[in-house]
Amino acid sequence: MAGLSERMRQMVRPELKDFEPYDPAFVPCDINLSANENTWPAPAGLSAAVREALATVPLNRYPDPLANELRDAIAAWHGVERENVLVGDGGDELLFLLFLAFGGPGRVLVDCPPSFTVYGLYASMVGTTVEQVWRDPETMLPDLEALVDAGRRADLVAVTSPNNPTGDAIARGDIERLLDACPGLVLVDEAYGEFSEAGTALPLLRTHDNVVVLHTLSKAFGMAGVRLGYLLGPADVIDALSAVRQPYSVGVLPQAAALAAVEHRDDALAQVAAIREERERLRAGLLGLGLTVWPSDANFLLVRVPGAHEVRARLATDFSILVRDFSQAPGLADCLRITVGTPAEDDAVIRALAALVGKECP
């Protein structure tokens, strides 16, 4: 999809004239490792429970606006109260609500790129000033001192742990330092948290009133199509976000599917452990090709390949494998992001890259 027409550029709010519809850069391929979805077969118990739940949901009534049954299940899982949980139409909706409620003209978001570009996008949609604390160009790690310093002047700080697309997680102690220094809210985006051994920031909810933690069923739970994310935070923050949300943004089908998935979370979490091991196998394979592969706590790897843009195109056309091209993104020259797939998918991507970079397959 293209940007706005001349006519629309005249008609929309001036700040929005350069916005474009989101483009996931999707090309149909046999193997899709581009969007950090879980490509493994859904665990049988979880899958059956979700399908059974969906089959019996009445469709004629509006959903419970706040999805209280689901909130209770999520709260019990994470050892918090219902008032500390807000569910949304994917994590993306909750991110938007954060900027709607806590961003805006005259307010400042601090983030640490290269990271999830959605923060900057939503921030600027509502006129928020974005202050970027760049990561180290080689290690890709955030500069904690600079982040803490910038955080002192911010209304909202967004940290992603593990970070997309660099894969690193932030230690809980570092997040605690940030929370101590920041007068505003600190978002800890744990969309990939289940894949990490760094541990969640959730215990900090007990000691700090300025932390919100984002989780989603899109990644570890293999339910990206359902659109269900949830935010954990202080009750007054959840109330503020609830006040500005669309009442029925989460339909009866996502609510039912998510409730069944949360009840069968042990199946999903067992699979996550296997995907973590597969990640290390894929990483070893890519390192064996002589590529730069950053360590990852998530279900994807950031890889530096000479001629990445061309390599990505040839992976799609010659091998029908889709990965994400970040080579034009600031700070990510010659970088591709490859989702950890099934062992067969990962073998295929290693073989294809071996052919393209001219190395023997390890």
Ligand X SMILES: *Cc1c(COP(=O)(O)O)cnc(C)c1O
The residues that touch ligand X, with contacts defined as CB under 6 A, are 90-92, 116, 160, 164, 189, 191, 216, 218-219, 224, 229
Between 261 and 352, name the residue whose CB sits nearer to ligand X. Answer: 261
Closest CA to 191 of 210, 165, 173, 226: 165
Closest to ligand X by CB, 149 vs 248, is: 248
The least distance separating ligand X from the CB of residue 318, rounded to whole angstroms, comes to 28
Residue with Cβ nearer ligand X (159 or 353): 159
Q: How far is the CB of 216 from ligand X (least distance, A)?
A: 3
- Considering all CA atoms of the chain, what is the largest pairwise distance in Å, rounded to the nearest integer? 59
User: Which of 254, 258, 200, 217 is CA-nearest to residue 80?
Assistant: 200
Cβ-closest position to ligand X? 90
Q: Based on CB atoms, which residue is closest to ligand X, 231 or 238? A: 231
Closest approach of Cβ 309 to ligand X, in Å?
Answer: 22
CA geometry: angle at 116 spanning 322 and 192, to 5°? 75
Of 66 and 357, which CB lies nearer to ligand X in the complex structure?
A: 66
Q: Which of 96, 140, 136 shows the shortest CA–CA distance to 296?
A: 140
Indicate the residue among 189 and 346 with the shorter CB distance to ligand X: 189
Least gap, CB of 228 to ligand X (angstroms): 7
- Report CA torsion sign: 217, 23, 158, 323: positive
Q: How far is the CB of 215 from ligand X (least distance, A)?
A: 8
Nearest to 95 by CA among 81, 114, 75, 115: 115
Cβ neighbours, 10 Å, residue 120: 18
Min. distance of Cβ 238 from ligand X in angstroms?
A: 17
